[in-house]
Amino acid sequence: MENKDLLKTGLEIDIVDRLKVLEKMKEKGYNPYPYEFDKTNDVKEIVNDPDKFMDKYVKIAGRVYSVRKHGGIVFYDIKEEGYRIQVVIKKDITKNFEDAYEFIQRGDIIGVYGKVGRTKAGELSVFAEDWIILTKSLISLPDQWYGFTDVEERYRKRYLDLLMNDEVRRYFEIRFKTISYVRKYFENLGYIEVQTPVLQPIYGGANAKPFITYVNDLKENWYLRIATELYLKRYLVGGFNKVFEIGPDFRNESIDVTHNPEFTMLEAYEAYANRDKMMEIVENLIYGIAKDIIGKDYIEYNGKKISLKPPWRRLTMYDALKEYANIDVTKLSDEEIMEIMKQNNIQLELKEYNRGLAITALFEELVEDRLIEPTYIIEHPKESTPLCKLSRKDPSLVERAEGYILGVEVTNIYSELNDPILQNKLLLEQAKMRELGFEEAHLYDQDFVEALMYGMPPTGGIGIGIDRVIMLLLGIKSIKEIIPFPMVKKKTESEAVKILTKYTSNKDNKS
Protein backbone atom coordinates (compact mmCIF):
# COMPACT_ATOMS: atom_id res chain seq x y z
CA MET A 1 0.00 0.00 0.00
CA GLU A 2 1.36 3.43 -0.99
CA ASN A 3 2.32 5.75 1.88
CA LYS A 4 0.73 9.12 1.11
CA ASP A 5 3.25 10.93 3.33
CA LEU A 6 6.00 9.89 0.95
CA LEU A 7 4.27 11.85 -1.81
CA LYS A 8 4.30 15.10 0.16
CA THR A 9 6.87 17.77 -0.56
CA GLY A 10 9.06 19.18 2.18
CA LEU A 11 6.96 22.35 2.11
CA GLU A 12 3.73 20.40 2.51
CA ILE A 13 5.12 18.36 5.41
CA ASP A 14 6.22 21.57 7.10
CA ILE A 15 2.87 23.33 6.69
CA VAL A 16 0.88 20.26 7.77
CA ASP A 17 3.04 19.89 10.88
CA ARG A 18 2.48 23.51 11.81
CA LEU A 19 -1.26 23.29 11.19
CA LYS A 20 -1.36 20.35 13.63
CA VAL A 21 0.45 22.43 16.24
CA LEU A 22 -2.01 25.25 15.57
CA GLU A 23 -4.96 22.93 16.22
CA LYS A 24 -3.41 21.63 19.44
CA MET A 25 -2.93 25.22 20.61
CA LYS A 26 -6.58 25.99 19.99
CA GLU A 27 -7.68 22.78 21.74
CA LYS A 28 -5.76 23.87 24.82
CA GLY A 29 -7.35 27.33 24.76
CA TYR A 30 -4.51 29.35 23.24
CA ASN A 31 -5.30 32.07 20.68
CA PRO A 32 -2.54 31.82 18.03
CA TYR A 33 -3.29 35.35 16.79
CA PRO A 34 -4.08 37.59 19.78
CA TYR A 35 -5.00 41.24 19.35
CA GLU A 36 -2.14 43.01 21.13
CA PHE A 37 0.77 42.68 23.54
CA ASP A 38 1.79 45.30 26.08
CA LYS A 39 5.59 45.46 25.78
CA THR A 40 7.65 47.32 28.34
CA ASN A 41 10.81 47.52 26.25
CA ASP A 42 12.27 47.00 22.80
CA VAL A 43 14.98 44.39 22.34
CA LYS A 44 17.21 47.17 21.02
CA GLU A 45 17.12 48.97 24.38
CA ILE A 46 18.31 45.91 26.28
CA VAL A 47 21.01 44.94 23.78
CA ASN A 48 22.41 48.48 23.65
CA ASP A 49 22.50 48.95 27.44
CA PRO A 50 22.44 45.54 29.17
CA ASP A 51 23.78 46.82 32.49
CA LYS A 52 20.77 49.13 32.86
CA PHE A 53 18.40 46.16 32.62
CA MET A 54 20.42 43.49 34.44
CA ASP A 55 18.29 41.59 37.00
CA LYS A 56 15.22 43.62 36.04
CA TYR A 57 11.93 42.27 34.70
CA VAL A 58 10.91 43.12 31.13
CA LYS A 59 8.17 42.25 28.65
CA ILE A 60 9.58 41.96 25.15
CA ALA A 61 8.52 40.55 21.79
CA GLY A 62 10.28 39.22 18.71
CA ARG A 63 10.45 36.57 16.03
CA VAL A 64 12.04 33.23 16.83
CA TYR A 65 15.08 32.55 14.63
CA SER A 66 16.49 29.47 16.31
CA VAL A 67 15.37 26.87 18.83
CA ARG A 68 17.79 24.75 20.88
CA LYS A 69 16.18 22.18 23.17
CA HIS A 70 18.10 20.53 26.00
CA GLY A 71 15.72 18.51 28.14
CA GLY A 72 14.23 20.82 30.75
CA ILE A 73 15.61 23.98 29.17
CA VAL A 74 15.12 25.62 25.77
CA PHE A 75 17.11 28.47 24.23
CA TYR A 76 15.45 30.72 21.66
CA ASP A 77 17.14 33.42 19.61
CA ILE A 78 14.57 36.12 18.91
CA LYS A 79 15.00 39.26 16.80
CA GLU A 80 13.12 42.52 16.75
CA GLU A 81 13.92 45.41 14.42
CA GLY A 82 17.25 43.79 13.53
CA TYR A 83 18.38 43.25 17.15
CA ARG A 84 18.85 39.74 18.58
CA ILE A 85 18.55 38.50 22.14
CA GLN A 86 18.38 35.03 23.69
CA VAL A 87 15.27 33.88 25.55
CA VAL A 88 15.57 30.99 28.00
CA ILE A 89 12.64 28.90 29.22
CA LYS A 90 13.22 26.47 32.05
CA LYS A 91 10.97 23.82 33.51
CA ASP A 92 11.37 25.14 37.04
CA ILE A 93 10.64 28.83 36.34
CA THR A 94 8.54 29.06 33.16
CA LYS A 95 4.75 28.91 33.33
CA ASN A 96 3.25 26.14 31.12
CA PHE A 97 6.75 25.01 30.15
CA GLU A 98 5.54 21.87 28.35
CA ASP A 99 3.23 23.88 26.10
CA ALA A 100 5.99 26.34 25.23
CA TYR A 101 8.32 23.42 24.55
CA GLU A 102 5.80 21.91 22.11
CA PHE A 103 4.20 24.95 20.51
CA ILE A 104 6.93 27.57 19.98
CA GLN A 105 8.60 27.01 16.61
CA ARG A 106 11.09 28.82 14.48
CA GLY A 107 9.44 31.78 12.74
CA ASP A 108 6.79 32.34 15.42
CA ILE A 109 6.45 35.80 16.92
CA ILE A 110 6.38 35.52 20.70
CA GLY A 111 6.11 37.73 23.74
CA VAL A 112 7.89 36.90 27.00
CA TYR A 113 7.97 38.22 30.54
CA GLY A 114 11.09 37.56 32.55
CA LYS A 115 14.27 38.75 34.20
CA VAL A 116 17.30 39.95 32.24
CA GLY A 117 20.52 38.11 33.05
CA ARG A 118 23.35 36.09 31.61
CA THR A 119 23.77 32.36 31.12
CA LYS A 120 26.78 30.45 32.47
CA ALA A 121 28.36 31.04 29.07
CA GLY A 122 27.86 34.79 29.50
CA GLU A 123 25.09 35.16 26.90
CA LEU A 124 22.75 38.11 27.48
CA SER A 125 19.32 36.53 27.98
CA VAL A 126 15.80 37.01 29.22
CA PHE A 127 14.84 34.16 31.55
CA ALA A 128 11.15 33.81 30.75
CA GLU A 129 8.65 33.23 33.53
CA ASP A 130 5.68 33.67 31.22
CA TRP A 131 5.24 33.57 27.46
CA ILE A 132 2.68 33.99 24.70
CA ILE A 133 2.61 33.17 21.00
CA LEU A 134 1.62 36.41 19.29
CA THR A 135 1.65 35.08 15.73
CA LYS A 136 1.83 31.42 14.74
CA SER A 137 3.99 31.04 11.64
CA LEU A 138 2.67 28.44 9.21
CA ILE A 139 5.87 28.18 7.12
CA SER A 140 9.37 27.65 8.47
CA LEU A 141 11.88 30.42 7.84
CA PRO A 142 14.57 29.60 5.27
CA ASP A 143 17.54 27.71 6.70
CA GLN A 144 19.71 30.20 8.58
CA TRP A 145 22.93 28.48 7.54
CA TYR A 146 22.21 28.27 3.81
CA GLY A 147 20.33 31.58 3.84
CA PHE A 148 17.88 33.05 1.39
CA THR A 149 20.00 33.76 -1.67
CA ASP A 150 17.99 33.10 -4.85
CA VAL A 151 17.97 36.58 -6.41
CA GLU A 152 14.54 36.52 -8.03
CA GLU A 153 12.94 34.98 -4.92
CA ARG A 154 14.61 37.65 -2.79
CA TYR A 155 13.03 40.39 -4.90
CA ARG A 156 9.67 38.64 -5.11
CA LYS A 157 9.53 37.88 -1.38
CA ARG A 158 11.28 40.94 -0.03
CA TYR A 159 9.67 40.37 3.36
CA LEU A 160 11.73 37.17 3.71
CA ASP A 161 14.80 38.93 2.36
CA LEU A 162 14.45 41.52 5.12
CA LEU A 163 13.97 38.82 7.75
CA MET A 164 16.94 36.71 6.67
CA ASN A 165 19.55 39.19 5.41
CA ASP A 166 20.71 41.81 7.90
CA GLU A 167 22.63 43.67 5.18
CA VAL A 168 19.46 44.10 3.12
CA ARG A 169 17.68 45.51 6.15
CA ARG A 170 20.58 47.95 6.60
CA TYR A 171 20.26 49.06 2.95
CA PHE A 172 16.62 49.96 3.42
CA GLU A 173 17.19 51.70 6.73
CA ILE A 174 19.73 53.85 4.87
CA ARG A 175 17.26 54.39 2.02
CA PHE A 176 14.53 55.68 4.28
CA LYS A 177 16.95 57.84 6.30
CA THR A 178 18.22 59.28 3.02
CA ILE A 179 14.72 60.25 1.89
CA SER A 180 14.11 61.89 5.27
CA TYR A 181 17.46 63.71 4.95
CA VAL A 182 16.59 65.00 1.48
CA ARG A 183 13.25 66.29 2.71
CA LYS A 184 14.84 68.16 5.65
CA TYR A 185 17.62 69.49 3.42
CA PHE A 186 15.20 71.24 1.08
CA GLU A 187 12.93 72.41 3.89
CA ASN A 188 15.96 74.02 5.53
CA LEU A 189 16.58 75.86 2.25
CA GLY A 190 13.06 77.26 2.41
CA TYR A 191 11.40 74.86 -0.03
CA ILE A 192 7.83 73.62 0.39
CA GLU A 193 7.00 69.98 -0.31
CA VAL A 194 4.05 69.80 -2.70
CA GLN A 195 2.10 67.13 -4.55
CA THR A 196 1.42 66.58 -8.23
CA PRO A 197 -0.94 64.08 -9.90
CA VAL A 198 0.29 60.56 -10.57
CA LEU A 199 -2.39 60.09 -13.23
CA GLN A 200 -2.06 62.71 -15.96
CA PRO A 201 -4.02 63.42 -19.16
CA ILE A 202 -0.79 64.36 -20.98
CA TYR A 203 2.56 63.01 -19.82
CA GLY A 204 5.69 65.13 -20.05
CA GLY A 205 8.85 66.39 -18.40
CA ALA A 206 11.15 63.71 -19.80
CA ASN A 207 11.90 61.62 -22.87
CA ALA A 208 10.24 58.32 -21.98
CA LYS A 209 7.49 55.87 -22.86
CA PRO A 210 4.51 55.94 -20.48
CA PHE A 211 2.21 53.39 -18.89
CA ILE A 212 -1.30 53.90 -20.21
CA THR A 213 -4.52 53.42 -18.27
CA TYR A 214 -8.17 54.01 -19.10
CA VAL A 215 -10.43 56.24 -17.00
CA ASN A 216 -13.87 54.63 -17.28
CA ASP A 217 -15.89 57.65 -16.16
CA LEU A 218 -14.16 60.01 -18.59
CA LYS A 219 -13.82 57.44 -21.35
CA GLU A 220 -10.24 58.61 -21.92
CA ASN A 221 -6.73 57.24 -21.90
CA TRP A 222 -4.61 58.74 -19.12
CA TYR A 223 -1.01 58.08 -18.17
CA LEU A 224 1.10 57.31 -15.13
CA ARG A 225 3.46 60.24 -14.81
CA ILE A 226 6.96 59.96 -16.23
CA ALA A 227 8.05 63.11 -14.38
CA THR A 228 6.62 65.77 -12.07
CA GLU A 229 8.25 68.70 -13.86
CA LEU A 230 5.39 70.32 -15.75
CA TYR A 231 3.05 70.32 -12.76
CA LEU A 232 5.73 71.63 -10.40
CA LYS A 233 6.31 74.50 -12.81
CA ARG A 234 2.59 75.28 -12.62
CA TYR A 235 3.15 75.90 -8.90
CA LEU A 236 5.74 78.55 -9.79
CA VAL A 237 3.30 80.18 -12.19
CA GLY A 238 0.83 80.14 -9.28
CA GLY A 239 3.19 82.07 -7.02
CA PHE A 240 5.17 79.45 -5.10
CA ASN A 241 8.89 80.28 -5.26
CA LYS A 242 10.54 77.09 -3.96
CA VAL A 243 8.86 73.70 -4.36
CA PHE A 244 9.95 70.08 -4.32
CA GLU A 245 8.41 66.62 -4.48
CA ILE A 246 9.76 63.18 -3.65
CA GLY A 247 7.78 60.34 -5.16
CA PRO A 248 7.40 57.61 -7.74
CA ASP A 249 7.68 58.10 -11.48
CA PHE A 250 6.84 55.43 -14.04
CA ARG A 251 8.53 54.75 -17.37
CA ASN A 252 7.61 51.82 -19.58
CA GLU A 253 11.15 51.03 -20.56
CA SER A 254 14.00 48.62 -19.93
CA ILE A 255 14.55 46.72 -16.68
CA ASP A 256 18.27 46.43 -15.95
CA VAL A 257 20.88 47.16 -13.28
CA THR A 258 20.22 50.93 -13.37
CA HIS A 259 16.56 51.00 -14.48
CA ASN A 260 13.28 49.92 -12.90
CA PRO A 261 9.94 50.97 -14.46
CA GLU A 262 8.84 52.43 -11.11
CA PHE A 263 11.45 54.52 -9.35
CA THR A 264 11.76 57.36 -6.82
CA MET A 265 12.58 60.85 -8.04
CA LEU A 266 13.23 64.13 -6.35
CA GLU A 267 12.38 67.22 -8.38
CA ALA A 268 12.90 70.73 -7.04
CA TYR A 269 12.38 74.16 -8.57
CA GLU A 270 13.52 77.56 -7.33
CA ALA A 271 12.33 80.86 -8.74
CA TYR A 272 15.05 83.37 -9.67
CA ALA A 273 17.76 80.68 -9.61
CA ASN A 274 19.62 79.13 -12.55
CA ARG A 275 21.45 75.94 -13.45
CA ASP A 276 24.67 76.93 -11.70
CA LYS A 277 23.02 77.55 -8.33
CA MET A 278 21.11 74.28 -8.59
CA MET A 279 24.33 72.39 -9.34
CA GLU A 280 25.71 73.64 -6.03
CA ILE A 281 22.56 72.53 -4.23
CA VAL A 282 22.81 69.02 -5.69
CA GLU A 283 26.51 68.43 -5.06
CA ASN A 284 26.17 69.64 -1.46
CA LEU A 285 23.14 67.39 -0.98
CA ILE A 286 24.82 64.22 -2.25
CA TYR A 287 27.98 65.03 -0.29
CA GLY A 288 25.84 65.49 2.83
CA ILE A 289 24.02 62.18 2.34
CA ALA A 290 27.33 60.36 1.99
CA LYS A 291 28.91 62.04 5.02
CA ASP A 292 25.93 62.14 7.38
CA ILE A 293 23.99 58.98 6.46
CA ILE A 294 26.58 56.58 5.03
CA GLY A 295 29.37 57.88 7.25
CA LYS A 296 32.03 58.62 4.62
CA ASP A 297 32.44 61.35 2.01
CA TYR A 298 33.81 59.11 -0.70
CA ILE A 299 32.97 56.01 -2.73
CA GLU A 300 35.35 53.08 -3.02
CA TYR A 301 35.85 52.02 -6.63
CA ASN A 302 38.46 49.56 -7.89
CA GLY A 303 40.58 50.10 -4.81
CA LYS A 304 40.41 53.89 -5.06
CA LYS A 305 38.55 56.45 -2.98
CA ILE A 306 36.38 58.65 -5.20
CA SER A 307 35.81 61.90 -3.32
CA LEU A 308 32.33 63.42 -3.38
CA LYS A 309 33.44 66.72 -1.90
CA PRO A 310 32.22 69.79 -3.80
CA PRO A 311 32.80 71.41 -6.15
CA TRP A 312 32.43 68.67 -8.74
CA ARG A 313 34.14 68.93 -12.08
CA ARG A 314 32.33 70.90 -14.83
CA LEU A 315 32.87 69.76 -18.41
CA THR A 316 30.98 70.65 -21.58
CA MET A 317 29.59 67.81 -23.65
CA TYR A 318 31.81 68.81 -26.56
CA ASP A 319 34.91 68.85 -24.35
CA ALA A 320 33.94 65.49 -22.85
CA LEU A 321 33.74 63.95 -26.32
CA LYS A 322 37.12 65.45 -27.12
CA GLU A 323 38.74 64.23 -23.87
CA TYR A 324 37.29 60.73 -23.60
CA ALA A 325 36.52 59.76 -27.20
CA ASN A 326 39.01 61.93 -29.12
CA ILE A 327 36.14 63.38 -31.16
CA ASP A 328 35.91 67.11 -31.87
CA VAL A 329 32.37 67.50 -33.16
CA THR A 330 32.90 71.20 -33.84
CA LYS A 331 35.22 70.20 -36.71
CA LEU A 332 33.09 67.38 -38.10
CA SER A 333 30.49 67.54 -40.86
CA ASP A 334 27.19 65.73 -40.53
CA GLU A 335 28.50 63.04 -42.88
CA GLU A 336 31.56 62.48 -40.68
CA ILE A 337 29.39 62.23 -37.55
CA MET A 338 27.14 59.70 -39.29
CA GLU A 339 30.20 57.65 -40.23
CA ILE A 340 31.41 57.57 -36.60
CA MET A 341 27.94 56.48 -35.54
CA LYS A 342 27.98 53.72 -38.12
CA GLN A 343 31.40 52.53 -36.95
CA ASN A 344 30.14 52.32 -33.38
CA ASN A 345 26.77 50.81 -34.29
CA ILE A 346 24.87 53.81 -32.90
CA GLN A 347 21.41 54.48 -34.28
CA LEU A 348 18.88 57.25 -33.72
CA GLU A 349 15.21 56.51 -33.14
CA LEU A 350 14.36 59.21 -35.65
CA LYS A 351 13.77 58.24 -39.25
CA GLU A 352 16.01 61.09 -40.33
CA TYR A 353 19.33 62.47 -39.12
CA ASN A 354 19.40 65.13 -36.38
CA ARG A 355 22.81 66.61 -35.56
CA GLY A 356 22.07 67.55 -31.93
CA LEU A 357 20.60 64.14 -31.10
CA ALA A 358 23.46 62.43 -32.93
CA ILE A 359 26.05 64.27 -30.81
CA THR A 360 24.09 63.37 -27.66
CA ALA A 361 24.00 59.72 -28.74
CA LEU A 362 27.77 59.71 -29.33
CA PHE A 363 28.28 61.09 -25.83
CA GLU A 364 25.97 58.54 -24.23
CA GLU A 365 27.63 55.63 -26.01
CA LEU A 366 31.30 56.63 -25.90
CA VAL A 367 31.70 58.84 -22.82
CA GLU A 368 29.07 58.29 -20.11
CA ASP A 369 30.48 55.16 -18.49
CA ARG A 370 33.95 56.74 -18.30
CA LEU A 371 32.84 59.57 -16.02
CA ILE A 372 34.01 57.99 -12.78
CA GLU A 373 34.77 61.09 -10.70
CA PRO A 374 31.70 63.21 -9.86
CA THR A 375 31.28 65.34 -12.99
CA TYR A 376 28.72 67.76 -14.39
CA ILE A 377 28.32 67.62 -18.15
CA ILE A 378 27.08 71.05 -19.19
CA GLU A 379 26.08 72.79 -22.43
CA HIS A 380 24.04 70.09 -24.23
CA PRO A 381 22.69 70.30 -27.79
CA LYS A 382 19.36 72.11 -27.76
CA GLU A 383 17.63 69.16 -29.44
CA SER A 384 18.23 67.06 -26.28
CA THR A 385 15.40 68.77 -24.38
CA PRO A 386 12.62 71.26 -25.19
CA LEU A 387 12.29 72.50 -21.58
CA CYS A 388 15.60 74.29 -21.01
CA LYS A 389 16.83 77.84 -21.73
CA LEU A 390 19.27 78.30 -24.58
CA SER A 391 22.92 78.63 -23.62
CA ARG A 392 24.15 82.20 -23.24
CA LYS A 393 27.42 81.09 -24.86
CA ASP A 394 26.05 79.23 -27.90
CA PRO A 395 22.38 79.27 -29.04
CA SER A 396 22.78 75.78 -30.54
CA LEU A 397 23.16 74.49 -26.96
CA VAL A 398 21.05 74.65 -23.78
CA GLU A 399 21.94 75.65 -20.24
CA ARG A 400 21.67 72.12 -18.90
CA ALA A 401 23.79 69.91 -16.64
CA GLU A 402 23.80 66.18 -16.05
CA GLY A 403 25.65 64.87 -13.00
CA TYR A 404 27.56 61.58 -13.25
CA ILE A 405 29.16 59.36 -10.61
CA LEU A 406 30.90 56.09 -11.54
CA GLY A 407 29.56 56.42 -15.08
CA VAL A 408 25.92 56.63 -13.96
CA GLU A 409 23.70 59.68 -14.39
CA VAL A 410 22.28 60.76 -11.03
CA THR A 411 20.86 64.22 -11.70
CA ASN A 412 19.51 66.46 -14.45
CA ILE A 413 19.57 70.24 -13.98
CA TYR A 414 18.19 73.11 -16.09
CA SER A 415 17.94 76.81 -16.28
CA GLU A 416 14.24 76.33 -17.00
CA LEU A 417 12.70 77.67 -20.17
CA ASN A 418 9.99 80.22 -19.37
CA ASP A 419 9.53 81.90 -22.76
CA PRO A 420 6.06 80.70 -23.89
CA ILE A 421 6.69 81.51 -27.56
CA LEU A 422 9.89 79.45 -27.72
CA GLN A 423 8.36 76.73 -25.54
CA ASN A 424 5.42 76.39 -27.90
CA LYS A 425 7.75 76.21 -30.90
CA LEU A 426 9.96 73.54 -29.30
CA LEU A 427 7.01 71.37 -28.26
CA LEU A 428 5.65 71.58 -31.81
CA GLU A 429 9.05 70.40 -33.04
CA GLN A 430 8.82 67.50 -30.58
CA ALA A 431 5.47 66.57 -32.09
CA LYS A 432 7.16 66.40 -35.50
CA MET A 433 9.88 64.18 -34.04
CA ARG A 434 7.17 61.76 -32.87
CA GLU A 435 5.88 61.63 -36.42
CA LEU A 436 9.41 60.73 -37.52
CA GLY A 437 9.51 57.74 -35.16
CA PHE A 438 10.95 59.22 -31.94
CA GLU A 439 8.47 57.62 -29.55
CA GLU A 440 10.02 59.23 -26.46
CA ALA A 441 9.58 62.79 -27.74
CA HIS A 442 7.43 65.10 -25.60
CA LEU A 443 3.71 65.40 -26.20
CA TYR A 444 2.33 68.80 -27.14
CA ASP A 445 0.92 70.07 -23.84
CA GLN A 446 -1.04 73.20 -24.69
CA ASP A 447 -2.29 73.67 -21.14
CA PHE A 448 1.33 73.94 -19.95
CA VAL A 449 2.14 76.48 -22.66
CA GLU A 450 -0.93 78.50 -21.64
CA ALA A 451 0.32 78.47 -18.02
CA LEU A 452 3.65 79.91 -19.21
CA MET A 453 1.77 82.63 -21.07
CA TYR A 454 0.64 83.98 -17.68
CA GLY A 455 4.31 84.14 -16.70
CA MET A 456 6.74 81.87 -14.83
CA PRO A 457 9.73 83.57 -13.16
CA PRO A 458 13.29 82.67 -14.15
CA THR A 459 13.78 79.28 -12.53
CA GLY A 460 16.41 76.65 -11.78
CA GLY A 461 15.24 73.06 -11.66
CA ILE A 462 16.69 69.69 -10.69
CA GLY A 463 15.79 66.03 -10.88
CA ILE A 464 17.65 63.42 -8.83
CA GLY A 465 17.21 59.65 -9.07
CA ILE A 466 17.07 58.74 -5.38
CA ASP A 467 17.47 55.01 -6.02
CA ARG A 468 20.59 55.51 -8.11
CA VAL A 469 22.23 57.83 -5.60
CA ILE A 470 21.75 55.33 -2.76
CA MET A 471 22.90 52.45 -4.97
CA LEU A 472 26.12 54.25 -5.86
CA LEU A 473 26.87 55.46 -2.33
CA LEU A 474 26.49 51.93 -0.97
CA GLY A 475 28.52 50.35 -3.77
CA ILE A 476 25.60 48.17 -4.90
CA LYS A 477 25.68 46.83 -8.45
CA SER A 478 21.93 46.61 -9.14
CA ILE A 479 19.19 49.17 -8.52
CA LYS A 480 16.81 46.34 -7.56
CA GLU A 481 18.81 45.81 -4.38
CA ILE A 482 17.77 49.24 -3.11
CA ILE A 483 14.17 49.35 -4.39
CA PRO A 484 11.93 47.71 -1.76
CA PHE A 485 9.71 45.82 -4.19
CA PRO A 486 11.29 45.91 -7.67
CA MET A 487 9.47 44.73 -10.76
CA VAL A 488 9.84 41.00 -11.47
CA LYS A 489 7.89 38.72 -13.76
CA LYS A 490 4.37 38.11 -12.46
CA LYS A 491 3.73 34.97 -10.43
CA THR A 492 0.13 34.70 -9.30
CA GLU A 493 0.06 31.21 -7.79
CA SER A 494 1.63 30.12 -4.51
CA GLU A 495 2.38 26.49 -3.72
CA ALA A 496 2.22 27.29 -0.02
CA VAL A 497 -1.26 28.83 -0.33
CA LYS A 498 -2.46 25.84 -2.36
CA ILE A 499 -1.35 23.57 0.48
CA LEU A 500 -2.99 25.84 3.06
CA THR A 501 -6.24 25.78 1.10
CA LYS A 502 -6.09 22.01 0.69
CA TYR A 503 -5.91 21.39 4.44
CA THR A 504 -8.07 24.23 5.80
CA SER A 505 -10.78 25.06 3.24
CA ASN A 506 -13.40 22.89 4.96
CA LYS A 507 -12.54 23.99 8.52
CA ASP A 508 -13.86 26.76 10.70
CA ASN A 509 -11.10 29.38 10.82
CA LYS A 510 -12.34 31.22 13.90
CA SER A 511 -9.73 31.46 16.65
Task: Decide which of 441 and 426 is more confident.
Answer: 426
pLDDT (tens digit, 9 = 90+) per residue, 401-419? 999 999 999 999 999 999 9
Residues 233 and 381 in one domain: yes
**Does residue 154 belong to any structural domain of this protein?**
no
Whole-Å CA distances, 291 to 213, 296, 300, 305, 466: 42, 5, 14, 14, 16
CA–chain centroid gap for 363, Å, is 28
Domain annotation covers residue 502: no
User: Residue 152 annotated as binding?
Assistant: no
Same domain membership, residue 175 and residue 34: no
Closest CA to 376 of 406, 329, 325, 411: 411
170 plus 129 within the same structural domain: no
* In 325-443, beta strands by DSSP E: 375-381, 397-405, 408-416
Tell me what pLDDT residue 269 has. Answer: 98
The CATH number that applies at residue 85 is 2.40.50.140
What is the rounded radius of gyration, in angstroms, for the C-alpha atoms of the chain? 29
Same domain? 111 vs 177: no
- 3-class state of residue 249 by DSSP: strand
Residues 175 and 87 in one domain: no
Answer yes or no: do 232 and 121 share one domain.
no
Distance CA 8, CA 53 (A): 47
Among the three residues 106, 141, 176, which one is the final residue of a domain in this structure? 141
Question: Domain ends where: 108, 141, 174?
Answer: 141
**Does residue 488 sit within a domain?**
no
Residue 97 lies in a domain: yes
- Whether residues 71 and 122 share a domain: the answer is yes
Residue 216 lies in a domain: yes
Q: Which long-range contacts (CB under 8 A, 24 or more apart) does 10-15 make?
A: 11/139, 11/495, 11/496, 11/499, 12/499, 14/139, 14/140, 15/138, 15/139, 15/496, 15/499, 15/500, 15/503
pLDDT over 70 at 317, yes or no: yes
Residue 121 has pLDDT above 80, yes or no: yes
With bands split at pLDDT 50, 70 and 90, how would you rate the model's confidence at 308? very high
Same domain, 33 and 100: yes
**Is the pLDDT reported for residue 5 higher than 80?**
no
On average, the pLDDT of the chain sits at 95
Indicate whether 511 pLDDT > 50: no
Say whether 262 counts as a known binding-site residue: no
pLDDT at 165: 94
127 and 179 fall within a common domain: no
- Clarify whether residues 249 and 298 are in a common domain: yes
**By three-state DSSP, how is residue 440 classified?**
coil
Residue whose C-alpha is closest to residue 416's, from 270, 203, 197: 270
- Please count the structural domains in the chain: 2
pLDDT 10s digits, 162-179: 999 999 999 999 999 999
Query: Average of pLDDT values for 201-229?
Result: 95
- Confirm whether 506 is domain-assigned: no
pLDDT score recorded for residue 434: 85
CATH code: domain of residue 311: 3.30.930.10
* Same-domain check for residues 179 and 137: no
What pLDDT shows up at residue 7?
58
pLDDT class of 263 with cuts at 50, 70, 90:
very high
Identity at 429, one-letter amino acid code: E
pLDDT of residue 216: 97
372, part of any domain: yes
Taking the model in full, what pTM does it have? Answer: 0.93
pLDDT of residue 145: 64
Strand, helix or coil at 209?
coil
Q: What average pLDDT does the segment 370-381 reach?
A: 98
Please indicate, yes or no, if residue 507 is contained in any of the structural domains.
no
Range of 125's domain? 10-141
Mean pLDDT value of segment 487-503: 94
Same domain, 292 and 430: yes
